[in-house]
Amino acid sequence: MRLTQAATLTEDVDEQLRAVGERLLEAVQRAKAYGLAAAHLGEVAPVVVISDDVELHTYRLLFNPRVTAVAEHTEKGEEGSVSLPGIRVEIDRPIWAEVSFLDRDSQAQTVRFDGFAARVALHEIEQMRGIFFLERVSRLKRDMALKKAKKLAG
């Protein structure tokens, strides 16, 4: 399953990786999601897209993203996935995260994301690393979520 496969970081952003990024950007906009990892397109690639302004639904492509710092303070919040529509679970995450990444032109950048944008960035970067969000909850909550997903799928 591609959702549990970790992507390997690359030295730069080539045409193939840019193409994955463009498809990912189109997919997130179509789904009106807050973020996506390449795994959702069936790709094992080091690229994620996140909404850096939730109200405006503006997006930022992050190639080779790495979390470089996080807040000590955490908050619980609901998270879900386009791969499990209708499923939401509470997950504890830092209230801000600093992320280093490459842009489309292979230029290194570092951005601090706060609040919900930090939650989305951390969620998608973990997905890129092969960690599905349900792995961050207890076995009981995970089993309940998967049972509900199966029921919703009919």
pLDDT in tens, 57-75: 789 999 999 999 999 999 9
- Can you read off the two tokens belonging to residue 129? 């690393």
Residue 35, judged by CB atoms within 10 A of its CB (0-12, 13-18, 19+), counts as: buried
Output the average pLDDT for the chain: 92
In the CATH scheme, what is the code of domain 2-153?
A: 3.90.45.10
User: What pLDDT was estimated at residue 117?
Assistant: 94
More confident residue, 83 or 76: 76
User: What pLDDT was estimated at residue 74?
Assistant: 97
Q: pTM of the entire structure? A: 0.93
Per-domain residue ranges of the chain = 2-153
| pLDDT tens column, 144-154 | 988 888 888 87
Of 5, 29, 9, nearest in space to 17 by CA: 9
Which pLDDT band holds residue 2 (cuts at 50, 70, 90)?
low
Catalytic, 26? Answer no
| pLDDT tens column, 11-60 | 999 999 999 999 999 999 998 899 999 998 999 999 999 998 777 778 99
Among candidate residues 78, 124, 126, 135, the one labeled active-site is 124
The CB-side HSE value for 73 (13 A sphere, CA atoms) comes to: 4
